[in-house]
Structure 1
Amino acid sequence: MSLVLPSELVVDRFLPTVRAMLAVRLAERGLTQREIADELGVTQAAVSKYVGGESGGDDRFRNDPETVATVERIADGLASGELDGYDALAELLSLVRSLEDRGPICELHEEEMPELRGLGCDLCVRGLDPDVRAERDVLANVRTATRTLASIPGMVDAVPNVGTNVGMCLPDPRDETDVAAIPGRIYAMGGRIEIPANPEFGASKHVATAVIAANAVEPEVRGAINIATDDDLLEAARKRGLDPLEFDADYEDRGAHLRRQFADRGTVPRVAYHRGAFGIEPATYVFGATAADAAELIDDLLEAAAS
């Protein structure tokens, strides 16, 4: 793991870019290079490079509307004397806090530390939070589940035309934003499983709906995976004593329909399926305490169905 602090990015990427932007704006307002150097706390040689466009910098900040507006405001204030160094510093600190909150600094941080991607990380603005740990655990579990699916020999044939997705919810989910899944779904291509992206919260609607419906009836159930409906797999489930639940594919409110079915049974089945309807491909949902549990069950059932 590459451990990078946001403050490092501020010093290495943000500050040089903003200094160069300010140098150009102040030069446009008639300040000499010596005056600009005094305002920015750098050498005149550095100002010459800034003004000459030799300083590099990061276009994410240079093209960011909030950064541009702040730089213009500071340049106007310094040039007119309405702002001093303290005021300019306050403006920049406020800008940094804003850019760390899902802005370009946050984007750069995710590039430097890929472990942060998909977390909705608020460490910079909110500090250490137990909710963040719970989100990380869910995302890690979904990643484990997808790796399991990709390693199953018969999984390619179990992926429906609409794709497979892996979902796992946080405790007490409110809506699909509390369910982590794979953006764009998982597809079978060229005889192998294609996983297009790392899991994110709010990336799935259909699997999220099934997970939330199951969790509402049985809070211990937090994971689900959709696969193609296959009679051999259903028979393998029955031989394991799992008693798959068949439900109607043609319904208006998927979540309410599934909750009723689960409540009527008194428990959430490990396997629930439908045979499809007009414009609806047959689908089977495999549930588990976690997404990884559901993936392991699929592995077992596909192996049993193939034997």
Structure 2
Amino acid sequence: MTPFELAARYLIPRLRALTAARLLDGGMSQNEVARRLGVTQPMVRKYAAEAEEAMEAMEAMGIPREAADAMASALADAATRGYWEHISAMNSIVASVLSGGGLCAFHRRIDRGIPDDCSLCSDVLRGGPDQYIEDVSNAVSALVESPHAYLLVPEVGMNVALAPPGASTVEQVVGVPGRLVRVGTRVVAIGRPSYGGSTHTAGVALWAGRRWGFPRAAVATRHDASIIGAAAAMGLRVHKVGEEPQEAPDLMVDMGGPGVEPIIYFLGRSALEAARKALEAARRVGTRDT
């Protein structure tokens, strides 16, 4: 069984079931969900009835419940924007799960012929060279591999966005479609960096780029006084949204509003630079708390 057959048989139907249930819970009709997902209305009804079973199956496949829930949330968000947006997000998430080895153990359980040193998915799905996607990918890797990054993840998930020279819309900004989520004390990326992969964080990167020059990156992290304090102690310039910055800040503090979570955005000329600023602040907070 090829990795693509594996995803088509076991992963995609369960992601669709979780997504359909999320959209229905949000008040969307079965007919509208069917149109957005590109399936029939009876299939939507079947998906909704099997949502919890699908979640349990995802866990059995080696995908943590928190990660599966984050994937469903990202897919539902994309589906509310349209059918093609959902297809694009599904493609990115499935490619990320496969290339990141998320189904390797499950694949070997059902196909004993797979060699121990198989790297087919990572080789095939690595993608072509793009310096901006590579930069965001490096930033994501730094966050995923850090023992302190979980301290940075907000309730809505973390994102990394890079606005390259010439960018004028969020579709021209590189981001992570499904965000980065916390699973225990680990950070998991839901989706591969791609153009149009972010909205809010991409908007911040665009704003900063227009103000202080491109390329410009932003990393959205949890709002916490200890993180802001650690950043200030590092000598980073802190800007509060609503004030007028005189020079390019290292982080922006957005206090949110009714129903909107406060967020800290670490900024940099590259995604990796912004991520390293955030990680150093998290390291100082983590070291102090232990």
TM-score scaled by length of structure 2: 0.54
Are 2:283 and 1:303 aligned?
yes
Distance of 2:151 and 2:234 partners within structure 1: 21
Question: For residues 282 and 183 of structure 2, what CA distance do their matches in structure 1 show?
Answer: 19
Deviations 1:160-181 (A, max 9, x none): 1100001112212111121111
Instruction: Tell me the CA shift for residue 220 of structure 1.
Output: 4.5
Question: Aligned letter for 1:163?
Answer: G
- Amino acid across the alignment from 1:188: R
Note the alpha carbon deviations across 1:105-139, whole angstroms, 9 max, x for none: xxxxx9884233xx7xxxxxxxxxxxxx6xx0001
Pick one of 159, 167, 187 that aligns with 1:165: 159
The secondary structure found in structure 2 opposite 1:115 is coil
Q: What do residues 160-207 of structure 1 show as CA deviations (whole Å, max 9, x unaligned)?
A: 110000111221211112111111111112332111221110011101
Residue of structure 2 in register with 1:288 after alignment: 268
Q: Does 1:115 align with 2:109?
A: no
**1:229, distance to aligned residue in structure 2 (A):** 0.9
Q: 1:154 aligns with which of 144, 148, 152?
A: 148
Unaligned ranges ≥5, structure 2 = 1-98, 100-120
Q: 2: CA distance between counterparts of 1:200 and 1:243?
A: 29
Query: Structure 1 vs Structure 2: percent identity of aligned residues?
Result: 24
Quote the Cα distance in structure 1 between the aligned partners of 2:154 and 2:251: 16
Q: CA RMSD in A?
A: 2.2
1:204 maps to: 198
Match of 1:237 among 231, 252, 268: 231
CA contact (8 A) 1:176 1:208 kept: yes
Aligned amino acid, residue 234 of structure 2 = R
Partner of 1:222: 216
The residue correspondences of 1:248-263 to structure 2 (distance < 5 A) are 248=242, 261=243
Does the aligned pair in 1 maintain the 2:163–2:214 contact within 8 Å?
no
* Cα shift readout 1:36-83 (whole Å, capped 9, x = no counterpart): xxxxxxxxxxxxxxxxxxxxxxxxxxxxxxxxxxxxxxxxxxxxxxxx
**Structure 1 pair 239/157, CA: closer, same or farther in 2 (3 Å)?**
closer
Task: Name which of 180, 183, 190 aligns with 1:186.
Answer: 180
Is the partner of 1:265 in helix, strand or coil?
A: coil
Equivalents in 2 of 1:240, 1:193: separation in Å?
24
Amino acid at match of 1:171: P
- The corresponding residue for 1:268 is 248
- Alpha-carbon deviation of 1:221? 5.0
Question: Which structure is larger by alpha-carbon Rg, 1 or 2?
Answer: 1
Give the 5 Å matches for 1:65-84.
none
Where 2:126 maps in the other structure, the secondary structure is: helix
CA–CA distance in 2 between the matches of 1:150 and 1:204? 18
* Aligned pairs for 1:75-114 within 5 A: 113-114=124-125
In structure 2, how many angstroms separate the alpha carbons of the residues matched to 1:172 and 1:163?
A: 27
Q: Do the aligned residues in 2 keep the contact of 1:214 with 1:221 (CA within 8 Å)? A: no
Deviations 1:13-36 (A, max 9, x none): xxxxxxxxxxxxxxxxxxxxxxxx
